[in-house]
Amino acid sequence: MTNGDGQPGRSRGWQGAVLKMLGADDYQFTVTGTERISEHYIRIGFTGGGLLTARPLHPTMWVRMWFSDRAGKLHQRGYTLVDADPAADTFFIEFAIHDGSAARWAQQAAPGDTIAATFMGSKFALPEPAPKGWILVGDTASLPAINSLLDAGVATAHVFLEYQHDDDTDLPLRSREADVVHWVRRGEGIVDTLRANKFDADGHFGWVAADTKITRSAVRVLRSDFGIDRGSIKSQAYWMANAKPS
Ligand SMILES: Cc1cc2nc3c(=O)[nH]c(=O)nc-3n(C[C@H](O)[C@H](O)[C@H](O)COP(=O)(O)OP(=O)(O)OC[C@H]3O[C@@H](n4cnc5c(N)ncnc54)[C@H](O)[C@@H]3O)c2cc1C
């Protein structure tokens, strides 16, 4: 199964045209294997078609992949590199499953399938000097990025994760012994849980990636209740709730 037309800039609408204009780099990824971690979470291995050969890795590094909707229109979606091996130009991507083009593609992917991807916009360096601790807020879509921060050896983290399916809480979170983890079911107030666990977070760094609304609210709480200034918070909305399924 091949997705995209392999012709960078074609069939990708205005988003593709803008990325092209900005000089974004295009790649073709090839699936090497797939593993169903749970009913709603799939891990897929890829070779990067040169993605990693000339580019240093950073925690939370992500790419824009081009998925076709049922009408054949391409949509770019952000996905995070997991367990990347630059020397081999290989990595994994973990897909949280719902009803959408990207999630549908992941469920059908098989070794040998190819998909077009663009690299542009992924940028994050661990802050210097190292923060005293971290507050990480996310969900199963940002679990791979959160794991990449924990793997990078950040200081003790308070992790707030929203889940939608009962077995999501068994997903492989790479927390260390000292980390404090809160799983909160979607709809049961992850932002309230965050607020209820506030502490004087002077010297801490906040990292937030969830749906648009929760991302915005969580950043507000980190600033007002935890006292973290804007410069010590990195946030990005990873998805939009109630978007029209693609
Ligand atoms: C920088 C970045 C990195 C990302 N990394 C990852 C990653 O590693 N793994 C990952 O799974 N996702 C990741 N995401 C999120 C992913 O891009 C979105 O979830 C995306 O919307 C999925 O596209 P889709 O075509 O499947 O669904 P869409 O067409 O975007 O949406 C279809 C329907 O599904 C709903 N929906 C979309 N995403 C979710 C979700 N996560 N949970 C529940 N419902 C949803 C929408 O509200 C809509 O109703 C990342 C996003 C960004 C910006």
Return d(Cα 80, Cα 215) in angstroms, integer. Answer: 17
Q: Say what the pTM is.
A: 0.95
Q: For atom 33 of ligand 1, which residue has the closest CA?
A: 245
Q: What count of other Cβ atoms lies within 10 Å of the Cβ of residue 237?
A: 15
Instruction: Give me the residue label for tokens 């593993």.
Output: 35
Average pLDDT over residues 188-215: 97
Distance 203 CA to ligand 1 centre (A): 31
SS3 content of the chain, % helix, strand, coil (to 5): 20, 35, 45
CATH number assigned to the domain comprising residue 206: 3.40.50.80
- Does a structural domain hold residue 71? yes
Distance 128 CA to ligand 1 centre (A): 31
> What is Dmax (Cα atoms) for the chain?
52
Determine the Cα angle at 176 with ends 42 and 87, to 5°: 55
Return d(Cα 17, Cα 23) in angstroms, integer. Answer: 10
> The domain containing residue 160 runs over which residues?
133-235
Same structural domain for residues 52 and 114? yes
Q: What count of other Cβ atoms lies within 10 Å of the Cβ of residue 229?
A: 10
Same structural domain for residues 102 and 155? no
What pLDDT was estimated at residue 8? Answer: 46
Same structural domain for residues 27 and 85? yes
Domain count along the chain: 2
What pLDDT was estimated at residue 196? Answer: 98
With 70 as the cut, is the pLDDT of residue 1 above it? no
Q: Given 119, 144, 163, which residue is the final one in a domain?
A: 119
Same structural domain for residues 111 and 159? no
What pLDDT was estimated at residue 19? Answer: 83
What pLDDT was estimated at residue 133? Answer: 98
Report how far Cα 64 is from the mean position of its chain's Cα atoms: 11
Express each pLDDT in 28-39 by its tens digit. 999 999 999 999
Distance 129 CA to ligand 1 centre (A): 33
Same structural domain for residues 115 and 137? no
Are 208 and 215 a contacting pair, CB within 8 Å? Answer: yes
Rg (CA), the chain: 18
Average pLDDT over residues 49-54: 92
Average pLDDT over residues 52-72: 94
- Does a structural domain hold residue 218? yes
Question: Which atom of ligand 1 lies nearest, measured to the CA of 75?
Answer: 25
Return d(Cα 63, Cα 51) in angstroms, integer. Answer: 10
Express each pLDDT in 103-132 by its tens digit. 999 999 999 999 999 999 999 999 999 999
